[in-house]
Structure 1
Amino acid sequence: MPQLTGIHHIKFPVSDLEASRAWYEKVFGFEVTIEFPDEQGVVRGLAGTAAGLGEVGLALRENPAVAAGIRGFDPVSFGIPDRAAAEEWAAHLDGLGIEHSPVIDATIGWILVFHDPDGTEIHLYSFAAHGIDQSGRKGYGRTTIRA
């Protein structure tokens, strides 16, 4: 099997590049380092960094049809340390006036759910496990074992 070395970047399709840029800046501290203009010189994409993502880049690409197509879907879960971090994020989002779920006991750890301006679902999922067996709950995952 050829080697993978990690995740290079995460790209979100958006319908309004400037509105999404402002939202990702205030929510995640998104810092734009590269712009992608089209053939007419109109910027249709942005790439940069966000606090806590380390070497993984964050990108936004203007594509209204695709943004509408993934409305309500969660293409990525950003990692957070634990339940306390989920509570801190909830307070951060409250301060920004962004609606979000309560902190949820998910399949393995804690999760906080909210949406970007296009309705793309954003998950903040803890690396710390809560130890609750959710395998019997509808809609929750269950472990599998390979023989």
Structure 2
Amino acid sequence: MTEFPPLTHVALTVRDVDVSARWYEALLDARPVIDEDTDPDMHHTVYLLGGGTLLGLHQHQQRTSDRFSEFRVGLDHVAFGCADRGELEKWSRRLDELGIEHGGIKDAAYGSGLAFRDPDGIALEFFAPPAQG
């Protein structure tokens, strides 16, 4: 068997794609590479992240009013990789500038993380490996 393939995209279901798109555009400082209805029952907006990974926002015609919960079976959170803790500190300041609440940088033996949530409560994180040395 060859090496396991890399992750190419993550698709998140959102309640209101217009609200979420504005929020993600501010966070990512990017415009979508795809913004279309794929059929009468779904709209999707897709952003290109570093490393060629795609982040998609899907709004289904059939949907629930439930907010995201990492305690339900399925997705726990999405983490974006940072080179080091210094980069996390920059993202912490950027989140503050955007008015996005976060839990501050938490350090652990396995690395450091900066947790926050999108408008639907989807758990997101910036993560950096532990310092070497």
- Report the TM-score, using the length of structure 2 for normalisation: 0.81
State the partner residue of 1:62.
59
- CA distance change for structure 1 residues 10 and 61 in 2, over 3 Å: closer, same or farther? same
Distance in 2 of aligned mates of 1:20 and 1:97: 15
- CA distance change for structure 1 residues 111 and 13 in 2, over 3 Å: closer, same or farther? same
- Report the TM-score, using the length of structure 1 for normalisation: 0.74
Instruction: Check whether the contact 2:115–2:126 (CA below 8 A) recurs between aligned residues.
Output: yes
Larger radius of gyration: 1
Residue 62 of structure 1 deviates from its aligned partner by 1.1
User: Residue deviations 1:19-55, cap 9 Å, x none?
Assistant: 0000010011242121231544x861111313xx221
User: Residue deviations 1:116-143, cap 9 Å, x none?
Assistant: 000011011103x147xxxxxxxxxxxx
Pairs within 5 Å for 1:95-134: 95-127=97-129, 129-130=130-131
Q: Aligned pairs, how many?
A: 127
Instruction: Check whether the contact 2:68–2:120 (CA below 8 A) recurs between aligned residues.
Output: no
Quick one: which amino acid aligns to residue 94 of structure 1?
D
Residue 70 of structure 1 deviates from its aligned partner by 3.6
State the partner residue of 1:35.
35
State the partner residue of 1:9.
9
State the partner residue of 1:44.
43
Counting aligned pairs with the same residue, the percent is 28
Q: Which runs of 5+ in 1 are unaligned?
A: 132-147
The runs of at least 4 consecutive aligned structure 1 residues that moved more than 4 Å come to none
Distance in 1 of aligned mates of 2:66 and 2:124: 13
Distance in 2 of aligned mates of 1:6 and 1:39: 28
Instruction: Check whether the contact 2:70–2:77 (CA below 8 A) recurs between aligned residues.
Output: no
User: Residue deviations 1:52-104, cap 9 Å, x none?
Assistant: x2211111011443973446763321100111111110100100111111110
